[in-house]
Structure 1
């Protein structure tokens, strides 16, 4: 087993553990938070599965990018719901439960929509990409859908077991998730710096598309708007890496560079956005001084 396969396997196990922990923490009640607001749910769906993927299609068509860069951008664009976002909200401004519900909802919708988008990508680039829908469906289902629903079922029917095991599982899965992020950054950062301005511009535009679509479609409530914006910009690097490695092993290393670049640049962009928006809210008593978004 080479380093790429090892990292992919570790990413798959990590995503499974994180989703299981999240399912136990949220339960069916927390997971359904977004579903109890149909209008917001629809807007989140549009932001995550329509605006960002379409923006990716435009960016990859307009900019002169290699197939490997296009594949990395496409993978991140069609897979929302980064496992890290729920934990980010625990330490900063935002609605933690709403972020968890967004992530869980996007994970469940991904079971159908990610294979669909992979099929569209394969049709657009028949000579470069081939990912059977049934295979991608099974991969996403096993890594996200099954552990999330099992975790919620344990919380609902075996609450004592969930109370005993969720905290240690949360700690272990969080450490594993940090490990994946560090490994991706360590393997990709040096290459990202050498990638050149055009690929960097592409991932910056993608991060901006995620933030802006989440911001404007997140509604008028400041906390909800900020939560959806940051959650929408944070795509699922672990699942993207696993799917690309499983379905396109020949270009996995090169695609890793783009995934690492997006993870880094979207994190920076989210911090800048959060700081600017918090400053705007702090000046809310003087609307004429507040910049618009």
Structure 2
């Protein structure tokens, strides 16, 4: 196992630990929030699984940019779970129940939807993008379903302990994610430099910006919902994206472009969340404190029940 694979695994474990940490404060109604709202589920699935892959295909068809960036962009579009879900959504004033429920719903649907999409996109691009449902199911089970379910169970059995350790676990996951990304960036820096061109940067930045705009628009008039879907569309899990790319093209490496996208998208998402906070303050809305996303797991407000 090479070091890039190890770091990719660390990123996946960090996502699972984050989900577990937030699962400690989740309720059954939170986890099923999206599944019980067919319209919200439909809009979320269309935004994440239809609109974003179509945009990636459009970039491939009409723009001339490096092959590695084209493939990486499609793999990123097929990566179903954002790296920052639900941390940034909640910390930016997003509805906690929507963040929990979206992670759970996407994890259930991905083993069916993603392989079908990857096969269709592969045919359109004349490249083998086939993904096994078992590969996706394993990723969703280990990174979302099991951590969320275990966190919820521990939170019900030992609520006081769950309240104490939840923030610490999320902080540990944050540090592990940052450390893994920094080390991975150093290791693949030559590949990042190869992928680093004005065209590639412009495409990745535009893709992230369009994702934020699509999610924000389709999330509806309620800012608590639009923030969650915007970040879910724009941000992706680099560890999972690298793993999927390796599974599809074992002889090629797309880590450099994926890391470049992670950096670009994180900057764009940070700017978006700051804008949302400022906009909410100007309107007099309640905003979740900045420290909430990295210290204390959030409980749903009364307005969400």
- Structure 1 residues 248, 139: closer, same or farther in 2, change over 3 A? farther
Write the mapping of 1:115-134 to structure 2, written as runs, cut at 5 A: 115-125=115-125, 129-134=129-134
Superposition TM-score, scaled by structure 2 size: 0.77
Confirm or deny: 8 A CA contact 2:49 2:78 kept in the other structure. yes
RMSD of Structure 2 on Structure 1 (CA) = 3.1
What stretches of structure 1 of length at least 5 have no aligned partner? 286-293
Partners of 1:275 and 1:200 lie apart in 2 by 22
Task: Please state how far the C-alpha of 1:62 moved relative to its aligned partner.
Answer: 1.4
State how far apart, in whole Å, the 2-side matches of 1:25 and 1:83 are: 19
Tell me whether 224-233 or 268-277 shows the greater mean CA deviation: 268-277
User: 2-side partners of 1:284 and 1:25: how far apart?
Assistant: 29
Say which is worse superposed, 185-194 or 109-118, in terms of deviation.
Answer: 185-194
The equivalent residue for 2:206 is 205
Change (3 A) 1:220 1:188: farther
Shift of the alpha carbon at 1:119? 2.8
How far is 1:183 from its partner? Answer: 3.1
Change (3 A) 1:152 1:199: same
Asked if 1 retains the 8 angstrom alpha-carbon contact of 2:92 and 2:276, the reply is no
For the structure 1 residues 192 and 281, does the alpha-carbon distance in structure 2 shift closer, same or farther, using more than 3 Å as the test? same
Question: Structure 2: how far apart are the matches of 1:247 and 1:224?
Answer: 34
Q: Summarize deviations over 1:217-246 as a string: whole Å, max 9, x none.
A: 011123322332123211222211222234
Match of 2:249 in 1: 248
Whichever structure has more helix as a proportion of its residues is 1
Q: Which residue of 2 aligns with 1:172?
A: 172
* Structure-2 separation of matches of 1:56 and 1:188: 23
Map of 1:77-156 to 2, 5 A cutoff? 77-125=77-125, 129-156=129-156
3-state DSSP of counterpart to 2:80: coil
Out of 22-31 and 271-280, give the one that drifted further.
Answer: 271-280
Q: Normalising by the residue count of structure 1, what TM-score does the alignment of the two structures yield? A: 0.80
The 1-side partners of 2:255 and 2:215 are apart by 25
